[in-house]
Amino acid sequence: MIQQGQQQKTAENEARINRRIRAREVRLIGSDGSQLGVVSITQALEQAEEEGLDLVEVAPDSRPPVCRIMDYGKFKYQKKKRQAEAKKRQVQVVLKEVKIRYKTDEHDLVTKINQARRFLMEGNKVKFVMFFKGREVQFAELGYHVMERVAADLVEVSVMERPPRMEHRILAMYFASKGVVKDAGKESENEDAKDEE
C-alpha cells in the first residue's frame, strides 16, 4: 500500500513523455525553443522522432498542454545535477549541547568552551546546560557566574540567542554562530609557517 503511494508520487513528479501524453492537441515548442503552434499529438510525435529526440509535456495544466522537443535523458540529468548543487549550498544548522556543572574545574571548562567554539565556527548553534541535583539548586548563583564566564569567552565567535535562564533544575543558555569560518585551523597553521620563514 505504501509502495503504491510512493510510486504514484514519483509518477506525478515525472513529466509525461512521448506516447504517455494523453492530449489530442498540444502547443509545441521546438528543440531550439521556437514556438511551433498548436498541432496534433501525432504530428508532434513524428517531429520529435525525426529529430531523434523526445516529446516532453512541460505544462500539463494549460489548455492545450505545452510540450517541448528535447533529449529527456539529458534534461533529467541536468535537473538532478542542479538539485544536487542546491543541496550542497544549503547549510544545515545543528543545535549542539554542551553540559557543564557549577563546580566544573578550570581545565575541563576551557575544554568545553573550546569545543563549543569549534561548533560555532562550523556554523552550528550551541546550548550550554547546567544541571543542579537535589540541594545544589541553592548554588544557582555560582552557576550564573560560570555561564557569564562562558559567554565572555565566546563573544568573538557567537551571538547570545538567549541569556542563562533557570528551567526547573536546569540552567540553560543558547548561542548562535556569527558565521562559518572555513578551515580556521589551516589558516592559523599557514600563518605559523610564514612566521617561521
Q: Which domains does the chain have, with CATH numbers?
A: 2-75 (3.10.20.80), 95-181 (3.30.110.10)
* Per-residue pLDDT, 86: 84
Q: At what angle do helices 140-153 and 106-121 cross, to 10 degrees?
A: 50
pLDDT (0 to 100) of residue 193? 45
How much is the pTM? 0.49
Q: Which pLDDT score, from 0 to 100, does residue 94 have? A: 84
Nearest to 63 by CA among 98, 35, 25: 25
Cis amide leading into 65 (omega within 30): no
pLDDT (tens digit, 0 to 9) for every residue of the chain, 197 residues total? Answer: 444 444 444 444 677 888 888 888 999 998 888 888 899 989 989 888 988 998 988 888 888 899 999 988 888 888 899 888 888 777 677 889 999 999 989 999 999 999 999 999 888 999 999 999 988 888 889 999 999 999 999 998 999 999 999 988 899 999 998 876 554 444 444 444 444 44
Burial zone of 181 (CB within 10 Å; 0-12 exposed, 13-18 middle, 19+ buried)? middle
Res 181: pLDDT: 58
Q: Which residue is it, cell 544548522? A: 93
First to last CA, the chain: 68
CB 52 within 8 A of CB 68: no
Which pLDDT score is estimated for 2? 44
Task: Please compute, for residue 141, the number of CA atoms within 13 A of its CA located in the half-sphere on the CB side.
Answer: 1
